Structure 1
């Protein structure tokens, strides 16, 4: 018995690439992001989805809502797939972070570094992999959508690809992308990585 997971990164907000938002509140989808969310909804219309789970952050919920409406499934908030807790870095510009030696350490060796007052990427990996296992026990032979965040999705994929956390930069997870993973008692395999809907 297997469970198929569609790992969806939230759609674009107006701070992508400029601010490390982390778990800061009030980050909403912009016009582009809303259009991306609608395209995701169309993409999943004909899929047989048993459950849709979302990070509690606004940008993830706003991405999830049209998908849930399109497939006729209720939306479930899942704290375990929330963004990494970046602690004191949350809300800081990437320009300012570039001046912080701790930021360089974090990006050079995520396996043994931690954001100030935040969590490690390994801790985030434990969260999402645990969530996948719980959902697998509930939804055997079904498909589940999880709307989450780039590094959290990367952490799950690294685990199932058998790659170390420090391999996080080997692939991209774009806004509004879908990565599809199948997990069974026999193991797991990645079917699609960073699938992006054409505009």
Structure 2
């Protein structure tokens, strides 16, 4: 069996580009993020979305709630879509991280570089892909999975057969949606990426 999945990045918030929010800065959407998400919900109306699964972070929960309100669905918490556990980096300013050789290595070779006491990129992708596999086994109508930029990048790289070292070569914007068809057993193919509907 297979299922159509919309991978939605949370809407904008005030940490973007300044702080590595991670799991410790549980920041809310800002006004722009709420507006972006409401507009996405309008564009998705009539697409037959059956469910919304969300990371437990505040920014994703709020995004999922706005989508749910627009689509008449109650979002479901799905921890496999949680933000990367960045360990000691979580909640740091990017300007403080940029000179750190370990941070530079993480961004150059995601396939093998560790985080300081957190997750590897491979572990992040494995948990998200396992969730996709479970959804594929159920089949049915499209599901939205609300998550975070690099989690979505990693899943797309996996589906395209790219090494995780390449995930910074494409953009996943706030409140964007990327459509994939999950077939189970780690198999998926990408229909669209970083789209608006």
For the criterion TM > 0.5, the same-fold answer is yes
| 1:145 aligned residue | 144
User: Secondary structure at 1:46's aligned position in 2?
Assistant: coil
Measured in 1, the distance between the counterparts of 2:191 and 2:3 equals 12
Tell whether 2:183 aligns with 1:184. Answer: yes
Give 1:141 deviation, angstroms. 3.7
Contact 2:25 2:91 in 1 (8 A): no
| 1:170 aligned residue | 169
> Which has more strand, going by share of residues?
1
TM-score, structure 2 normalization: 0.95
* 1:104-131 per-position Cα deviation (integer Å, ceiling 9, x unaligned): 0101111111111110110000010001
- With 188-197 and 90-99 compared, the bigger mean Cα shift is at 188-197
* 1:73-130 per-position Cα deviation (integer Å, ceiling 9, x unaligned): 2210001100000011011111000121110010111111111111011000001000
Measured in 2, the distance between the counterparts of 1:182 and 1:80 equals 18
Structure 2 gaps, min length 5:
none
Equivalence map 1:10-29=2 (5 Å): 10-29=10-29
Equivalence map 1:18-97=2 (5 Å): 18-97=18-97
TM-score, structure 1 normalization: 0.94
Aligned-pair Cα RMSD in Å: 1.4
* 1:124-151 per-position Cα deviation (integer Å, ceiling 9, x unaligned): 000100010111112x142010000011
Contact 2:137 2:184 in 1 (8 A): no
Measured in 2, the distance between the counterparts of 1:167 and 1:39 equals 30
Contact 1:9 1:173 in 2 (8 A): yes
Structure 1 gaps, min length 5:
none
**Where in structure 1 do 4 or more consecutive aligned residues deviate above 4 Å?**
none
Task: Give the length in aligned residue pairs.
Answer: 196
Contact 2:133 2:184 in 1 (8 A): no
